[in-house]
Amino acid sequence: MALVHPWRGSSAPATLTPSRVAGFGQVRFRVRGGAAPFAGCALAALSTAQQQQGLMGRTDLAGYDGMIFEWRSATTTAFYMKDTLIPLAIAWFDDRGRFVSSAEMVPCPAGTASCPLYQAASPYTVAIEAPASGLTRIGIGPGSVLAVGGSCR
């Protein structure tokens, strides 16, 4: 698995390290320019299968600050909370790591035929999910810039 960081001026992928959650890697991220600078560790969902799975069926984030989703080019892909057991917040970032928008997402009850969709205000390349109301805890808000890469310590 690899993450591509277009806003860092490099097309060289960063290698992910294994995580405590089967099927996902982990990666360090840093936030600056928003509520407060923050450095943390997140699960990484890079493949289509990982992105579709996301945090479905989980009752917690296994001690991680969030889950990072990254695309090689800008997308408008919507998120939904099908089979997701915990309320989440999501923030989207453009190809330079700049904050696009955010939303609070509520679990979609089992058996619901159509779950609400959550979309960014404009195209993005990276999204991060965190526990509900948890974006400010990790420094994310209007004006913040996200950088992804490096190993978690």
Q: What are the domain boundaries of the chain?
A: 2-9+27-142
- CB atoms < 10 A from the CB of 69, how many? 24
Closest CA to 89 of 147, 47, 59, 131: 131
Q: 4 pLDDT band (50/70/90 cuts)?
A: very low
* Sign of the alpha-carbon torsion through 134, 137, 142, 143: negative
Higher per-residue confidence, 51 vs 91? 91
Report how far residue 140's alpha carbon sits from residue 24's, in angstroms, rounded to the nearest whole number.
23
DSSP annotation string for 41-75: EEEEE-SHHHHHHTTTT-SS-TT-SEEEEEEEEEE
Q: What is the homologous superfamily of the domain 2-9+27-142 according to CATH?
A: Protein of unknown function DUF192 (2.60.120.1140)
Bridge partners (DSSP) listed for residue 43: 26, 67
Pairing of strands 2-3, 14-15: antiparallel
pLDDT at 10 over 80: no
pLDDT of residue 9: 38
pLDDT of residue 35: 64
pLDDT of residue 1: 34
pLDDT of residue 3: 44
| Mean pLDDT confidence for 119-137 | 96
pLDDT of residue 22: 83
How confident is the model over 35-73, as pLDDT tens digits? 678 999 999 998 899 999 999 989 999 999 999 999 999
pLDDT at 144 over 70: yes
pLDDT at 115 over 60: yes
Q: 5 pLDDT band (50/70/90 cuts)?
A: very low
pLDDT at 7 over 70: no
pLDDT at 119 over 50: yes
SS3 137: helix
